[in-house]
Structure 1
Amino acid sequence: MTDSYVRVRGAREHNLRGIDVDIPRDALVAFTGVSGSGKSSLAFGTLYAEAQRRYFESVAPYARRLIHQVGAPKVEEISGLPPAVALEQRRSAPTSRSSVGTVTTLSNTLRMLFSRAGDYPAGSTGRLDSDAFSPNTAAGACPECHGLGTVHRVTEDSLVPDASRSIRDGAVAAWPGAWQGKNLRDILATLGHDIDRPWRDLPPADREWILFTDEQPVVTVHPVREAGRIQRPYKGQYMSARRYVLHTFADSKSETLRKRVRQYMTAEPCPVCGGRRLRPEALAVTFEGRDIATLAGLPLATLAELLRPTAARPGDAPAPALARDLVARIEVLTELGLGYLSMDRPAPTLSAGELQRLRLATQLRSGLFGVVYVLDEPSAGLHPADTEALLTVLGRLKEAGNTLFVVEHDMDVVRHADWIVDIGPRAGEHGGRVLHSGPVAALADAEHSATRRFLFAAAPPPARTPRTPTGTLALHGVTLHNLRDLDAAFPLGVFTAVTGVSGSGKSTLVTRVLAEAVQDHLGTTDPRPDADDTTTTEDQDTGPAPRARLTAATGLETVDRLVRVDQKPIGRTPRSNLATYTGLFDAVRKVFAATDEARARGYTAGRFSFNVAAGRCETCQGEGFTAVELLFLPGTYAPCADCHGARYNPETLQITYRGRTVADVLGLTVDDAAGFLADVPAAARSLRTLKDVGLGYLRLGQPATELSGGEAQRIKLAAELQRARRGHTLYLLDEPTTGLHPADTEVLLRQLHGLVDAGNTVVVVEHDMGVVAGADHVIDLGPGGGAEGGRIVAAGTPAEVAAAPGSRTSPYLTRARSRAYPERS
């Protein structure tokens, strides 16, 4: 390396416009710009991708195909680029058996501590290997529950909630209509059971056989006339209710169906291991008088205190050496505000920000130097108090001789950078240019930068009077996770922000307890408009998540509807896109079907769906691309050789509307489509709301897999806004500004305040103090995380919470209120 800069020439990844930029090494460099401007395309899609490509050139071809590769970037030249490590935002962990201990590898060290230095019971013949202390291995897993800690049981009470009903009236509630359907009663009648007697009056042997038999007889039901029509004949294998429930829970890929059968199961602690997941011989080994499951269940900060006396002992014996390593690594996690987590906390229950900080702490202890760390919004999900700790850790990584490239929207983090690369000026095809690359202070001279006005101090905002609530929704005696007998009041008809440090209980209170209370009142099962039929981050192996306990809930009668808007993907395949999710593609297909040529050919709206065989390209099955398998190299994708990415067959593409094919329309941006489809009311309404939430740069057919979490959340909000509003709706949003530039946050907040002005209630879990300062009401939880949180420290207007003693939020809220923050209108 001839100098101290990474030099990029001719970068054209995604929307980058052949940019040239020089970036210093051994520095903290912030990449900024509005959402969709191209900053991630530069940091991850170009710099990290090129570093990875160079590394893989030294790896054997056979090994390369076993490792995920991001592909070679579109760039002419990059010089001075060191090896790189990427820490990206991920919404979930790979499996439900993954935990804080496995993500950080702390569990490996703890198992070694018990294996080498644990106190074994009298009569033990030898020391156990470290694998014997892992519930994820055959050597350590409890033989009864297979390392899950719970056993699932199906009982008569769970299967037959109302024993006064007969089988004909649906006494056996575990059978959904889609399974054996209305034939069930005839099947049991054919087998000789009385289907008209109340369930409780049936002989015990019959009830036992119907619910629990493992027999699977083949039954033939002949056609019978009923209600003036003849049933179709049925011939199939009978399956008992318990067998069906357990089989569906274990094997079904449909999360909807799994949720349906969960209500007919009970999850109980394993009677052998007591929920501790390990074999008895492993649980018999102790350290400081406690077994490994007990230590793994302690908050990390508490565990470190327990190990400190052992770590302080001199010498290189196994116990002090391993304890010192554990304490040192836990201290880094505590610095990052994660001391409230326990080692056995399932990774799927963690937020993306928590997961990224766990990986960041692991890197800090790795001892690497001379590398580039590329981080995707490390401040995501962090309270300002936790962000200060994050900056300390980033500083230590830099002092160790590393370079940090940080894609960031938090202006407090950006102010601490040594260098800033600002991309813009806008998103999509209107972005992709370097507006500034240099010291942070020099950004003040970048005329077209959207970041500039948020980075530097502004005049205090004008005084604002909070809205007057129209009522109160109150929860009493809430107990769940770290919430203990909590009373919480949410004013109705206003904008409420729920704040607190990471792990204080904000999401538990709002997205779990409040949401469950309202949906129970409304009689709904899943109020999210984006609920899909795929697996979620919920621990699939341990059954239903625990529900909150509360003594009372008042004020629910004024809420007519519940809407939750989160950052989960709107789809997991390229077939899902902005147009299909919002429903505007239905209007587009109808327009094409109504053309004279389409009517003459007999084409219906279905013809213009790329998911229907009649209209799609059969070579790529409507995907627009085909997989290319390479020998000894990872597979890749290429545009379909027949349709060239259009997704449709030639006959369908012969139909045009105002000179464009349906593929052409899917290629339009929202901004362009708004003009092209202005005379199509159903499409125009959707496009208008998408523009209102700042997504005018997205293409209608942009695959869901290419959308960020912030973009997905705004698409969901747009889909909700385009619906006819009726009654009083409660909107719940969990950190809606995550992934948003402050300019995009302004756009989002205008829409949310508009919902409140229309007579609805909005409750957001939020760390952005600018958003909190503009709220009508604030609920601050804490004072700390985990066991130290779960209490309401302060509640009231932003001014009242800013003045509250004992609140870790108040000093940051005070500072935010002295600056400009987004207006409501």
Structure 2
Amino acid sequence: LFSFNNPYGACPVCEGYGNIIGIDAELVVPNTTLSIYENAIFPWRGESMSWFRDELVNNAYKFDFPIHKPYYQLSEDQKELIWNGNTYFQGLNDFFKELEEKNYKIQNRVMLSRYRGKTKCYSCKGKRLRIEASYVKINEKTVSDLVDLPIKHLVTFFKNIDLDLYEKQIAKRLLVEINNRLSFLTEVGLDYLTLNRNSATLSGGESQRINLATSLGSSLVGSMYILDEPSIGLHPKDTERLIKVLLSLRDLGNTVIVVEHDEDIMKSADMIIDIGPEAGTLGGHLVAQGTYYEILKSTSLTAKYLNGDLEITVPKKRRLFKNFIEIKGARENNLQNIDVTFPLDVLTVITGVSGSGKSTLVKKILFPAMQKKLENVGEKAGQFTEITGSFSQIKHIEYVDQNPIGRSSRSNPVTYIKAYDDIRELYAREKLSKIRGYQAKHFSFNVDGGRCETCKGEGSINVEMVFMADVQLPCETCSGKRFKKEVLEVAFEGKNIHDILTMTIDDAIAFFIAHKQTKITQKLQPLQDVGLGYVQLGQSSSTLSGGEAQRIKLASFLVKGATKDKALFVFDEPTTGLHFHDIKKLLASFDALLEKGHSIIVIEHNLDLIKCADWIIDLGPEGGENGGKLLAVGTPEQVAKIKESVTGKYLKDKL
């Protein structure tokens, strides 16, 4: 009865989803800064429909309704009243019901379609459970009330729960489990989440910590945990909590292996294994192993950054800005109606603890609102009052995330940055190609002609197994080389097309410089600049990490970046998976974009990148309902002096 995944417990109207297709409140009141008097209710404008609005406005004094208050400031009860109506006026629900009943009229059907969308289920009010489940209460709370509480309030509820002797006996073991699990979520710093939060709305750092809390909850002993960059998406304050959790896993008698770039986690490790010396073909050696202090004495790149021989230097002076974009009244999710100014022509970093509203501000409000302004397209932006600023200074906005660069198994870095076109032209100009009539398309594995027909240029064949996972086998015809034997006979300076695709970017640049192919070298150079020299030209994009995909996108913008059109770039945690040395290269690439007149906004937790910002916007102080406030803005030096800023506290040491 208390599970929405069970047909018995799920609300019969929405089948346990909490949403149905109905009248979307956000379409009915698109601009929540307007009051009822200023026509906040969209369908009640115009000559014929304003009668409904006037009915509410003229009678409002009889039931003390604030018609001049902005819609977003109304209480839940007042909003309910607008929808349900009373004896003095007809509510929105009845208004739309009437339209439904008369939907044989074309204008009514048009009107209804305009306001249709996903909306909260009217039966369970988005709680997903059938009404009967809410009849059962413990300490005056239903199960729906509990899952809507932030975890920290839930912890208090279960600590102070008031049961009689008999109930205590029944609940004894259950309460132990409930309290344990809630305390694990609190330990990993997620006490601001509610239990019914949709998992699709969690950030990467949050999902990873929920997995960690699950492992803690299983209280295994003698297990080996392997964590791949658990500090992704974590503020230094959250990383401290994470370290405590990892140490408690170790103290239970488990082995914990962490792949990590974070300095604080390295300091807490009992043993560090450092692999290098560089990346790709220049890596793969064990350069150092030992405790943190033993590593400091070695000559590895990591050690040089840890002991200060090499460092990411703080810029001598910060760039100044004249132009900016301002968002007023941002109040989506947990943002508390804040006004934020985003400078242009400089490197702006958005900081704050995990869950403080950074992604909401940038991804849900700034990006879609700017897209709408500049390109007249884009998703629906979150709730905000208005956007103003120097729009003439930028022509387009680019959101550079960590999604893969291509969906197909044939997509790869060299095709993404458009260098492969020039390489194919080069091979089509060879003497043997001309004799055999080969064109550039014969050197592509995406179209018929020169590619191996057996594997269609994939290099491997997928064997479907009936009861097991599919098996990938190298293609027997081309031995995984992707091309026909005849095409591979065409060579440029002794290398065929397959040899080129298996070269790393560093080797390819050296090869093409030696043979005076400047056009190709220029296109490959940005990949080396962003620190991807170790990646193979033809490496399948499915084998690239999120951070690598993001840097390939950055490189492609550096290739195109010379255009006159100024762009605003938005990066979401670009330091994911980066070593100190790579962060240095990333910052150099950012400088290159800024020199070309572009603007950059970065959501980031890494202090080495934050200290190099020209301007910081710090949100907080906590995550969830205690976040979403603007704590500090200014240069890193200014933010470090602001007492309220959590980021400032950690930034001090770095400066």
TM-score, normalisation: structure 1 = 0.66
2:329 and 2:385 in contact (8 A); partners too: yes
3-state DSSP of counterpart to 2:538:
coil
Partner residue of 1:421 out of 258, 266, 273 = 273
CA deviation after TM superposition for structure 1 residue 814, in Å = 0.2
| Percent identical | 40
Partner residue of 1:309 out of 135, 160, 169 = 160
Shift in CA distance, 483/660, structure 1 to aligned 2, threshold 3 Å: same
Tell me the distance in 2 between the aligned counterparts of 1:209 and 1:614. 57
CA deviation after TM superposition for structure 1 residue 355, in Å = 1.3
Q: Return 602-611 or 627-636, whichever deviates more.
A: 627-636
3-state DSSP of counterpart to 1:133:
coil
1:134 maps onto 2:3 in alignment: yes
Shift in CA distance, 207/613, structure 1 to aligned 2, threshold 3 Å: farther
Tell me the distance in 1 between the aligned counterparts of 2:647 and 2:248. 26
CA deviation after TM superposition for structure 1 residue 812, in Å = 0.5
CA deviation after TM superposition for structure 1 residue 360, in Å = 0.9
2:205 and 2:354 in contact (8 A); partners too: no
Tell me the distance in 1 between the aligned counterparts of 2:314 and 2:468. 60
Q: In the alignment, which residue of structure 2 is the partner of 1:781? A: 619
Q: In the alignment, which residue of structure 2 is the partner of 1:121? A: none
Shift in CA distance, 650/798, structure 1 to aligned 2, threshold 3 Å: same
Partner residue of 1:660 out of 495, 498, 515 = 495
Tell me the distance in 1 between the aligned counterparts of 2:447 and 2:116. 38
Tell me the distance in 2 between the aligned counterparts of 1:667 and 1:133. 56
3-state DSSP of counterpart to 1:423:
strand
1:558 maps onto 2:393 in alignment: yes
1:279 maps onto 2:130 in alignment: yes
Superposed, 1:21-60 pairs within 5 Å as none
Q: In the alignment, which residue of structure 1 is the partner of 2:307? A: 456
Shift in CA distance, 652/478, structure 1 to aligned 2, threshold 3 Å: same
Tell me the distance in 1 between the aligned counterparts of 2:381 and 2:290. 51
Q: In the alignment, which residue of structure 2 is the partner of 1:72? A: none
Shift in CA distance, 454/729, structure 1 to aligned 2, threshold 3 Å: same
CA deviation after TM superposition for structure 1 residue 760, in Å = 2.1
Q: In the alignment, which residue of structure 1 is the partner of 2:653? A: 815
CA deviation after TM superposition for structure 1 residue 312, in Å = 8.7
Partner residue of 1:483 out of 310, 327, 335 = 335
Partner residue of 1:706 out of 543, 546, 551 = 543
Between Structure 1 and Structure 2, which shows a larger proportion of helix residues? Answer: 2
1:675 maps onto 2:514 in alignment: no
For 1:136, give the aligned amino acid: N
Tell me the distance in 1 between the aligned counterparts of 2:258 and 2:642. 34
Q: Deviations 1:56-101 (Å, cap 9, x if unpaired)?
A: xxxxxxxxxxxxxxxxxxxxxxxxxxxxxxxxxxxxxxxxxxxxxx
Partner residue of 1:290 out of 115, 131, 141 = 141
2:103 and 2:109 in contact (8 A); partners too: no
3-state DSSP of counterpart to 1:317:
helix
Shift in CA distance, 276/546, structure 1 to aligned 2, threshold 3 Å: farther
1:310 and 1:319 in contact (8 A); partners too: no
CA deviation after TM superposition for structure 1 residue 550, in Å = 2.2
Q: Deviations 1:477-511 (Å, cap 9, x if unpaired)?
A: 11101012110011222111111111001111122
For 2:494, give the aligned amino acid: G
Shift in CA distance, 324/610, structure 1 to aligned 2, threshold 3 Å: same
Q: In the alignment, which residue of structure 1 is the partner of 2:213? A: 361
1:388 maps onto 2:259 in alignment: no
CA deviation after TM superposition for structure 1 residue 653, in Å = 2.3
For 1:497, give the aligned amino acid: V
CA deviation after TM superposition for structure 1 residue 794, in Å = 0.9
5+ long unaligned stretches in structure 2: 29-42, 44-101
Q: Return 588-597 or 617-626, whichever deviates more.
A: 588-597
Q: In the alignment, which residue of structure 2 is the partner of 1:754? A: 592
Q: In the alignment, which residue of structure 2 is the partner of 1:399? A: 251
Superposed, 1:3-402 pairs within 5 Å as 132-153=1-22, 207=106, 266-310=117-161, 317-402=169-254
Tell me the distance in 1 between the aligned counterparts of 2:261 and 2:294. 18
For 2:570, give the aligned amino acid: L
For 2:608, give the aligned amino acid: G
For 2:386, give the aligned amino acid: T
Q: In the alignment, which residue of structure 1 is the partner of 2:582? A: 744
Q: Return 339-348 or 276-285, whichever deviates more.
A: 276-285
3-state DSSP of counterpart to 1:733:
strand
For 2:12, give the aligned amino acid: P
Tell me the distance in 2 between the aligned counterparts of 1:320 and 1:559. 62
Q: In the alignment, which residue of structure 1 is the partner of 2:601? A: 763
1:729 maps onto 2:567 in alignment: yes
For 1:735, give the aligned amino acid: E
Q: Deviations 1:671-705 (Å, cap 9, x if unpaired)?
A: 12113334445432221010111111110111111
Q: In the alignment, which residue of structure 2 is the partner of 1:689? A: 526
Tell me the distance in 2 between the aligned counterparts of 1:366 and 1:755. 48
1:796 maps onto 2:631 in alignment: no
2:643 and 2:649 in contact (8 A); partners too: no
TM-score, normalisation: structure 2 = 0.82
Aligned residues: 576
Q: In the alignment, which residue of structure 1 is the partner of 2:68? A: none
2:151 and 2:193 in contact (8 A); partners too: yes
3-state DSSP of counterpart to 2:160:
helix
Q: Deviations 1:314-353 (Å, cap 9, x if unpaired)?
A: 7853445423322221122112111111112222222222
Tell me the distance in 2 between the aligned counterparts of 1:473 and 1:645. 51
For 2:151, give the aligned amino acid: L
3-state DSSP of counterpart to 1:437:
strand
Q: In the alignment, which residue of structure 1 is the partner of 2:76? A: none
CA deviation after TM superposition for structure 1 residue 589, in Å = 2.0
Q: Deviations 1:231-288 (Å, cap 9, x if unpaired)?
A: xxxxxxxxxx99xxxxxxxxxxxxxxxxxxxx99522222222222222223433333
Tell me the distance in 1 between the aligned counterparts of 2:492 and 2:387. 58
2:139 and 2:162 in contact (8 A); partners too: no
Tell me the distance in 2 between the aligned counterparts of 1:206 and 1:700. 61
1:587 and 1:680 in contact (8 A); partners too: no
1:311 and 1:320 in contact (8 A); partners too: no
Q: Return 296-305 or 784-793, whichever deviates more.
A: 296-305
Tell me the distance in 2 between the aligned counterparts of 1:423 and 1:753. 29
CA deviation after TM superposition for structure 1 residue 567, in Å = 1.2
2:353 and 2:623 in contact (8 A); partners too: yes
Shift in CA distance, 594/752, structure 1 to aligned 2, threshold 3 Å: same
CA deviation after TM superposition for structure 1 residue 211, in Å = 8.3
Shift in CA distance, 415/323, structure 1 to aligned 2, threshold 3 Å: same
CA deviation after TM superposition for structure 1 residue 152, in Å = 2.3
Superposed, 1:529-608 pairs within 5 Å as 547-608=382-443
Partner residue of 1:639 out of 463, 474, 494 = 474
Partner residue of 1:516 out of 324, 345, 368 = 368
Tell me the distance in 2 between the aligned counterparts of 1:378 and 1:498. 21
Tell me the distance in 1 between the aligned counterparts of 2:540 and 2:172. 53
Q: In the alignment, which residue of structure 2 is the partner of 1:439? A: 291
Tell me the distance in 1 between the aligned counterparts of 2:387 and 2:421. 44
Shift in CA distance, 479/362, structure 1 to aligned 2, threshold 3 Å: same
2:312 and 2:584 in contact (8 A); partners too: no
1:474 and 1:555 in contact (8 A); partners too: no
Larger relative CO (CA 8 A, sep 6+): 1 or 2?
1
1:310 and 1:323 in contact (8 A); partners too: no
CA deviation after TM superposition for structure 1 residue 752, in Å = 0.6
Q: Deviations 1:625-645 (Å, cap 9, x if unpaired)?
A: 123466876443221111111
2:608 and 2:654 in contact (8 A); partners too: yes
1:473 and 1:554 in contact (8 A); partners too: yes
Q: Deviations 1:517-568 (Å, cap 9, x if unpaired)?
A: 2111102535xxxxxxxxxxxxxxxxx8772322343333322221111111
Q: In the alignment, which residue of structure 2 is the partner of 1:614? A: 449
Shift in CA distance, 614/318, structure 1 to aligned 2, threshold 3 Å: farther
Q: Return 291-300 or 470-479, whichever deviates more.
A: 291-300
